[in-house]
Amino acid sequence: MKTRLFALAIAVLAALAWAKDEPKPPVDPDAEAQRLLAEKERQKGVARFGPDPAFLVFPRPLERKETPKELLTEEVQAMIAKALAFLARTQDADGGWTDKQWPSNTGVAGLCALAFMAEGSQPKVGVYGSNIDRAMEFLLKNAQSGGYIAGKGSNAYGPMYEHAFSTLALLMAQGDMPWRPQTKDVLDKAVQAILNAQKLDGGWRYEFGNQGHSDMSVTANVIWVLRMAKKNGYTVDSTKIKKGVKFIEECSYPDGTFRYRKWGVHAEPSLGGIGIMAMASDGALDHKLIPRARDRIAYDYRRYTVDDLRQRNYIVYQCFYASLAMYAVGDEYWIPFYRKAVKLLKAIQKPDGEFEDEHGNNIYSTAMAVMILQAPLGYMPIYER
Amino acid sequence: MKPSLLTHDALVMFLVILGLGLVAFYSLLSRRESKMQRRLLPWQVLLMRAMRVGVAVLVLLALARPAISLVRTEERVPVVALVLDESTSMSFPEARENPLAQNRPLERRQRFHTAQEVVMKIQDRLALTHRVKLYAFSDALKLYKEIPLRESDDAPALSQNEIFPEEFKPTGEYSNVGDALTDTLRELSNDRISGIVLLTDGRETGGAKIADVAQVLETGKIPVHSVATGSEFPLRDLRIDEVIVDAEASLGDVASFRLKITNQIANPLETTLTLYENEKKVSTKTLRLPRGTSFVAIGAVMETEGLREFRLSLPKQPDEVNVENNEQVVHVEVVKRGLRVLLISSTPSREYFYLVPALLRDPILDLRCFLQTADVDYTQQGRSNLERLPKTTQDWDKYDVVILYDVDPNGLESSMIAGLEATVSNGAGLLVFGGFNHGTARLIQVHAAKMRGLLPVEIDKNQVLDWEKAWNKPFKVRRTPAGKVHPITLASTNEKFNEKIWENFPEFYWVHPVKGVKTKAVTLLERDGPREEGGGEPLVAIHRYGRGAVLYSAINGMWRWRFPAESYDYDRFWSGAIRYLGQTRLSGTQQNVLLQTDRRTYAPGEEVQITLRLMDPALQSQIEGQQLYADVMLPSKDLQKVPLKPEVAGAPTYRGSYRPREVGSMLLHCKQAAPNADSEAKPLFDVKHNFHVRMESLEDRDTSANLEGLQALSEQTGGTYWDHKNMQDVATLVDKIPSEPQVLSKEVQIEVWDGTLFLVLFLLLVSAEWSLRKWWGLL
């Protein structure tokens, strides 16, 4: 025992000595200016240029760090490769995907296309360029005359979720897909359909129509998509977004948690991330609820074990929104979150690369999981800094 | 004693003649006296003759100057020379590790005090067995003191004050160590030198080289015992050698102060650099400096217009010799200037998503965007909303840099392109992306007249984009030789860091086809790989267009550079490129010329090497064949022209040299107009650079001790070597110096004739002979 302890002590000392003597990487003399400007920008916070709060500019990094490289370990890369391969081989002939509950669902197809875009592919360009292109064809084929993009496998409650994800995927591909000139028209109508579907309480719900009560999850998703539409050159009435954000605020508790419905009581842990994204969509990253929601997510992923988190409903779905939010609030929160998320997703991933939810759906969840894993690449504008 | 008769060859003849004369005289005398001599008895005659012969012999002996030569030998006490350096460098602090210095009070820790202590430690014992001569030297050697021989241990030794009075201080301006040793040999040429004890820091400022004198000493078998004061490191000093900062800075931008710092304190030294303005702390930076020279940067965001004074300060270190050089004051003129940038893009592509925030983050770029596919009532992005595109040249002239990102050529009227061409020609920058949606070929098809001339590349206007195929094979990109040094593709001025950043440059899948580059354009990035697979295809190229510049990128996926450093490298690249393209508007010249000197400070008479480097080969081709000059403005405001010549024919580097004759701040100025340009035209470049000329003490130039040189001297001559590592045993040096006496041989000559006895004998014989002749009646 003594010998082992002694050997351990020697090993620790040697490791310390090695760490001390390890040559440091060269220091960039030009980095000083970047650091100073970054510090100044951080003092000011997220900057808004022009009259529209959609166009946020996040402060630049304080220093040049290759943290993304460190986060994308070989193990993570293998997880990503398997998941993307799974999505590629499960794509239907018509360009869509068939999830257990949502066959040929446009929302699922939109998410899959976004997952491939997060890898760096674009329509017809890159490893998964053809997959994206076929997915876009699928989405455009499912564009309905009323403006919404939804097919036969839509949610029984209404197609707003799939419409939002489809619109988002088309928005992300629009600028790199000149051979589909109809995209602009489809998106024009899609955005208009969302705006027309705003309910009187300020939010959105599954169905298109402004009657009834909204829910926080759909509303937050829609606001987020509207913001991306604004960045793509679509005119979106800012008062509509403000009303939507107000609805989100009404669904919040002061501790940064959110209720699914305005009159509800139970706070859903899955809604923290999308709550932050919704508030950021109105250019309010300094909103008083954001630090609380952020800390709540950070606490959850610090406090609970992987097994605890796996027990939650739609854990990949909530992890996806949490990842968008934590990425935006900075490395201090993002890095520990990402590491825990990797552990969580590793526990969920099956040998063939898929991530299955508690209802047996394995496409949308795989798409969301692989977007979370690929976030360090920084190739997806929905992950914003 | 060794007697010997002295004879002189020259006298032989003279003596023979004299002898013959005497014989003749006495023969004549004998003949005259022969009758009278008949009365004398034979013994009387014989006596007379004997006496006369005796006189003659004595005379001959006197004339021959006979002498006896004797060789005398005697034993003398040997000499030891203590050769003490009294140059000002000896007043520098002693090495902190020196055990002798550690035991002395702080005010007595100079190298000179160490030398004195060593002298005191060895002189009392040496004086028992040697004649001790203490010499002092700086530019010349002088006998400072002879330490009297002590008869016994009981005899009192000289005290410290008797040898080194308080007023004896090191004041010499030179350290001619080699000369001092040579002079010591000359001074003691008649003495047996048991050894020379050399007390110095060994840092020579002139005279004979120690290594050369060591050979002489080795031949003469004279051991030199070196007592080295000081340490192998320069004096404990932390100093700011120079601060490089642009004379002008933009309001809201960072003014970067680049410092050359010399650390002669410790390895490494942890310290803090502070930037003050009006005694108010603006910025601090923790430094970890290796021993020697380092380059560090500190900056401040310029938030107030006007001339501002900054003080850069490093804290005083314990035992630091000079704290005045821990600070420097510089002035920066802060002006409100920025670059107005217009980005026109057909669609919101991925590059557009990342390029907009990258340019918005730059505080001196006033970005306005125009998305051609946006809704009619859309609020365009940027610092302010742009409702319509500029039409006239006056409209375009409001922008310093224009970016055409895969624009829809039908959305731009011909008059717009004409206005754009005029504004670029007038000094604005243009960045054109060959994109996926419309492509450059269509742009040329629609606006051939102006666009073809504007672009630095040749595009086949008939090669329209093929949207049927998929691009799933990645290719790598490499920098061309010009790209490796061009400001746009220089990610960092630190070579290692630059390479590290470019190692992470991503792979791409799609590139806009480029037929070739124009003659005077410069390719910065090209496709990697063998030529048959498209290797060498130009991807990013730049050329000068009138007074402006045009950059073309056939890559539309630069956003892939966001990995692995997120937006850091990507933002800096585009920010740098836009600043470069707008430089003409900012300062009236392109930032593609570097005017430098090999150092920033010089002593009068030293050669200042001037280098003018043209970063843009396109510019080089414009001035080819012209004679370039750099004007040196002296402190007296006089101008001197220095011709600059190409390093080799056609090279982008021009060199010249200048020897300053006066001290002060000098300003180098190099300006060149385009060939055949009218006098009103702006120059192609107009660059300035300053350097300083100041008096430098030779003693201050290198404050480290020459331990290696002194050790080599001792080893070569058979002496011992002492420095701060073994100085505690320096008293044993006495045991290494032999004390055998000096044996002196002296030859003495005693002249036999030159004495009383000889004189008396001569007088006796002469007077006796005369008296006898008188007595015997011969007279």
User: Which tokens hold the place of A51?
Assistant: 């009259």
Question: What was the pLDDT predicted at A246?
Answer: 93
Q: Which residue of B has its CA nearest to A71?
A: B564
Chain A contact for B104 (CB, 8 A cutoff): no
> What φ, ψ does residue B548 adopt, rounded to 5°?
-100, -170
Identity of the residue in A67, A184, A231 whose CB atom sits nearest the CB atom of B373: A184
Chain A residues within an 8 Å CB radius of B350: 122, 172, 175-176, 379, 381
Nearest beta carbon to residue B562 from set A51, A124, A379: A379
Tokens 């500019």, residue located? A57
d(CA B615, CA B70): 88
CA dist., res. B388 & res. B451, Å (int)? 21
* ipTM score of complex: 0.91
Q: What is the largest CA-CA distance in chain B?
A: 175
CA distance A148 to A164: 9
Report yes or no: B467 and B461 within 8 Å, Cβ to Cβ: no
Chunked into runs of 10 residues, chain A (385 residues) has average pLDDT values of 48 44 50 85 81 80 91 98 98 96 94 98 96 97 94 86 96 95 96 96 92 92 93 92 93 90 82 84 79 92 94 92 92 95 97 96 97 96 87
The Cα B486–Cα B509 span in angstroms is 25
- Least CA distance to B378: which residue of chain A? A235
Contact B579, B487 (CB under 8 A): no
Query: Between chains, do B381 and A50 touch, taking CB under 8 Å as contact?
Result: yes
Q: Which residue of chain A has the CA closest to B511?
A: A125
Whole-angstrom Cα distance, residue B352 to residue A377? 17
The residue type at A307: D
Position B680 scores a pLDDT of 62
Chain B residues near residue A29 by CB distance under 8 angstroms: 258, 295-297, 492-494, 497
Is there a contact between A64 and B569 if contact means CB atoms under 8 Å apart?
yes
Q: Does B260 touch chain A (CB under 8 A)?
A: no
Q: State the first-to-last Cα distance of chain B, in angstroms, to the nearest integer.
A: 48
Does B103 reach chain A within 8 Å, measured CB to CB?
no
pLDDT at B11: 64
Dist CA A81 CA A70 (whole Å): 17
Q: Is A353 left (phi over 0), alpha (psi -120 to 50) or beta?
A: left
Two structure tokens written together for B243: 């601060």
Note whether A60 contacts B361, CB cutoff 8 Å: yes
Shortest Cα distance, chain B CAs vs residue A163, angstroms: 20
A67 phi-psi bin (left φ>0, alpha ψ -120 to 50, beta other): alpha
Contact B154, B128 (CB under 8 A): no
Distance (Å, rounded) from C-alpha B768 to C-alpha B51?
Answer: 8
**Residue B36: its pLDDT value, please?**
73
Find the CB nearest B375 among A49, A234, A379. A234
Answer yes or no: do B254 and A130 touch at CB < 8 A: no
The strand pairing partners of B367, in sequence order, are: B341
Token pair, residue B756, equals: 């009383």
Among candidates B558, B557, B360, B348, which has minimal Cα distance to A231?
Answer: B348
CA distances from B456 to A115, A308, B253 (A): 38, 61, 31
Q: How far is CA A153 from CA A81, A206, A367, B512, in A?
A: 27, 14, 17, 40
CB contact under 8 A, A26 and B496: yes
User: Which member of B258, B383, B510 has the closest CB to residue A50?
Assistant: B383
Amino acid letter, B329: V
Closest C-alpha among B252, B250, B240 to residue B311: B240
Strands B608-614 and B593-597: antiparallel
Query: Cβ separation of B497 and A28 shorter than 8 Å?
Result: yes
Q: Closest Cα of chain B to A173: distance in Å?
A: 8
B436 shares contact with chain A (CB less than 8 Å): yes
Neighbours of A132 (CB within 10 A): 28
What CA–CA distance (Å, rounded) separates A107 from A149? 9
Is B343 part of the contact surface with chain A (CB cutoff 8 Å)? Answer: no
List strand residue ranges (DSSP E) for B546-584, in order: 548-553
Cβ pair B489, B524 in contact under 8 A: yes
Question: Cα–Cα distance between A83 and A368 in angstroms, integer?
Answer: 10
**B560 inside 8 A of chain A by CB:** yes
Could you say which of A26, A59, A379 has the minimum Cβ distance to residue B494? A26
User: Other C-beta atoms within 10 Å of B359: how many?
Assistant: 24
Cβ-proximal residues to B132 (8 Å cutoff; 6+ apart), any chain? B79, B80, B82, B123, B126, B146, B147
Closest CA–CA distance from residue A360 to any residue of chain B (Å): 33
Separation CA A295–CA A7 (nearest Å): 41
Interface residue B45 vs chain A (CB under 8 A) = no
Who contacts A265 (Cβ-Cβ below 8 Å, separation ≥6)?
A: A259
For residue A117, give how far its alpha carbon lies from the nearest alpha carbon of chain B (Å). Answer: 10
* Three-state DSSP state, A58: coil
Q: Count CB atoms within 10 A of the CB of residue B607.
A: 11
Residue of B383, B408, B436 to mutate, testing the A interface (most A Cβ within 10 Å of its Cβ): B436
Question: Cα–Cα distance between B468 and B81 in angstroms, integer?
Answer: 96
Query: Which chain B residues touch A69 with a CB distance below 8 Å?
Result: 563-564
Amino acid sitting at position B429 = G
Q: What is the mean pLDDT of each run of 10 residues along chain B (779 residues)?
A: 49 74 78 74 84 83 80 87 94 90 89 95 92 94 92 90 91 92 92 92 89 92 94 88 81 87 92 92 91 88 88 91 88 87 95 94 93 93 89 93 96 94 92 94 92 95 88 94 86 84 94 91 93 91 89 95 92 93 71 77 88 75 81 89 84 88 89 71 78 80 88 95 94 91 80 81 87 81
Inter-chain touch A234–B470, beta carbons under 8 Å = no
Name the residue facing A37 among B258, B363, B469 (closest C-beta).
Answer: B363
Q: A118 near A131, Cβ under 8 Å? A: no
Residues 49-78 of B with CB under 8 A from A: none
3-state secondary structure of B85: strand
Question: Which of A49, A64, A69 is facing B360, going by the closest CB pair?
Answer: A49
Which among B383, B467, B500 has CB closest to A179?
B467
Q: Which of B674, B523, B671, B691 is nearest to B610 (CA)?
A: B691
Q: Which residues pair with B132 in a beta bridge?
A: B80, B147
Q: Phi, psi at residue B170, to the nearest 5°?
A: -75, 115
Alpha helices in chain A (DSSP H): 2-21, 31-44, 67-71, 74-89, 106-118, 129-141, 160-174, 183-196, 216-231, 238-250, 272-280, 289-303, 306-310, 315-329, 331-348, 364-374
On whether the CB atoms of residues A363 and A87 are closer than 8 A, the answer is yes
- In our burial notation (b when 16+ CB lie closer than 10 A, e otherwise), range A103-120 reads ebbbbbbbbbbbbbbbbb
What is the DSSP track for B433-469?
Answer: E--SSSHHHHHHHHSHHHHHHH-SEE--TT-----SS
**CA distances to A185, B415, B446 from B410, in Å:** 19, 12, 7
Q: Is B385 on the interface with A (CB under 8 A)?
A: yes
Read off the amino acid at residue B340: R
Among B470, B500, B564, whose Cβ lies nearest the Cβ of A26? B500
Among the listed residues B118, B121, B147, the one whose alpha carbon sits nearest the alpha carbon of residue B134: B147
* Residue pair B765/B58 in contact by the 8 Å Cβ criterion: yes
Q: Does B254 touch chain A (CB under 8 A)?
A: yes
> Is A251 buried (19+), middle (13-18) or exposed (0-12) by CB count in 10 A?
buried
Q: Write the CB contacts of B241 (distance below 8 Å, at least 6 apart in sequence).
A: B259, B260, B261, B262, B293, B600, B601
